[in-house]
Amino acid sequence: MASLPTDARRITAVNLSLCFPDMDEAERQRLLRQSLVETARTAFELGLFWMAPVSRGLSNIVSISGQEILQEAQNRGRGVIIMAPHLGNWELTGLYMATCGPITNLYKPPRLEALQAFMVQVRERSGATLVPTNRKGVAMLFKALERGEMIGILPDQEPPLDGGVFAPFFGMPALTMTLVSKLSARTGAPVVCAFAKRLPDSRGFELIFAEAHTGIAYEDINIAAVALNRSVQDCVLQAPAQYQWEYRRFKQQPDGRKNALYKRDVRQ
């Protein structure tokens, strides 16, 4: 699979070279192959976590680490922001979080309207509420936190230019969302990272909770963005092959240009 000249392979190779410049080339090629295999597994698992009964999907979680972190955050009564990177299987993470109390999840609507309706239906069947990435959706996130509930956000995709700032991610400038930090600063809600790590030999998943870095709600949004990316990076380093490396994370550059390394005519 890793030898096929696909966009996924090409973009993954670019991202790994940017994020792990000191890694031995042979090791980086092994990570590239592992990453593509894990991406395929995530795709094959989609049917299970979207279509099977919720209980069957949840049965794939064989251990949970850091649940006390989530419990402590909930006990504060200020609501909780669940920050779930594109790591492991985030669909399973979403299924589980709906068992922990009321949760409102932010999602980016797909271009196909029929797919959007289906996506909302399958993701809400566990009890979660989905809201789109627009002003109304953001307002609903604030209201959920004011009620002391959880909200879920995928923090590691490029936001619009007016909704983000540049902050280092694995040492590279990445356009980073400010929404998580603003929500936490305005409401006092703690931020907890969560991801479902795929275990070897098809043994299931370990669900992992971790505290976000101090400073994620700092009033200086640039400092807050650094803390957000460090939080995501710490999660990724626990299972680097399971991260969504085929996403053009560094497409937008601080000088306003697009990253030329992602162009198809650049050879790896």
Q: Which helix (H) or strand (E) holds 44?
A: helix 25-51
pLDDT at 118 over 90: no
> What phi, psi does 9 have (nearest 5°)?
-65, -45
Q: Tell me the mean pLDDT in the region 150-170.
A: 95
What is the β-pairing status of strands 80-83 and 191-198?
Answer: parallel
DSSP code for 87: B
19 part of a folded domain: no
pLDDT band, residue 248 (cuts 50/70/90): very high
pLDDT of residue 267: 44
N-terminal to C-terminal alpha carbon distance within the chain: 16
Rounded to the nearest 10 degrees, what angle do helices 113-124 and 25-51 cross at? 80
Residue 253 has pLDDT above 80, yes or no: yes
pLDDT at 263: 86
**Which residues have CB under 8 Å from 127's CB, separation 6+?**
98, 99, 102, 103
> pLDDT higher for 116 or 42?
42
> What is the rounded average pLDDT of the residues 144-169?
95
Q: For residue 1, what pLDDT is reported?
A: 46
Query: How many helices and strands, by DSSP H and E, does the chain display?
Result: 9, 9
Residue 14 φ/ψ, nearest 5 degrees: -60, -50
Cα pseudo-dihedral 5, 85, 212, 187, rounded to 10: 140
Cβ 174 vs Cβ 167: under 8 Å: yes
**Across 247-251, average pLDDT:** 96
- Please tell me the distance from the alpha carbon of residue 84 to that of residue 106, in angstroms, as a whole number: 11
pLDDT of 16 > 50? The answer is: yes
Name which of 97-101, 122-126, 170-174, 241-245 the model is least confident about: 122-126
* Residue 54 maps to a domain: no
Q: Which of 137, 143, 63 is nearest to 102 (CA)?
A: 143
Give a yes or no: residue 206 inside a domain: yes
Q: Is residue 116 part of a domain?
A: yes
- Of the pLDDT bands very low, low, confident and very high (cuts 50, 70, 90), residue 90 is very high
In the block, residue with structure tokens 């972190």: 69
Specify whether the backbone of 202 is left (phi greater than 0), alpha (psi in -120 to 50) or beta.
Answer: left
pLDDT at 268: 40
pTM, rounded to two decimals: 0.94
Could you tell me if residue 105 is inside a domain?
A: yes
Residue 188 sits in which domain range?
59-240
Answer whether residue 98 is part of any domain.
yes
108 has a pLDDT exceeding 70: yes
Question: Quick check: 2 pLDDT over 80?
Answer: no
Percentage of the chain modeled with pLDDT above 70: 97
**Angstrom distance (rounded) from CA 228 to CA 212:** 7
Strand partners, 192: 82, 211
Q: Give the integer Cα–Cα distance in Å for 152 and 128.
A: 10
> For the chain, how many structural domains are there in total?
1
Residue 86 included in any domain: yes
- 72 closest CA partner among 211, 186, 187, 228: 211
Average pLDDT, the chain: 94
φ/ψ of 106, rounded to 5, equals: -85, 135
Query: What per-residue confidence (pLDDT) applies to 127?
Result: 94
Residue 111, domain member (yes or no): yes
- Per the CB < 8 A criterion, the answer to whether 88 and 195 are in contact is yes
User: What's the pLDDT band for 57 if we cut at 50, 70, 90?
Assistant: very high
Rounded Cα distance, 36 and 107, in Å: 24
Q: Kindly state the average pLDDT of the residues 146-173.
A: 95
Confidence of residue 266 (pLDDT cuts 50, 70, 90): very low
Give the pLDDT confidence score for residue 85 in this predicted structure: 97
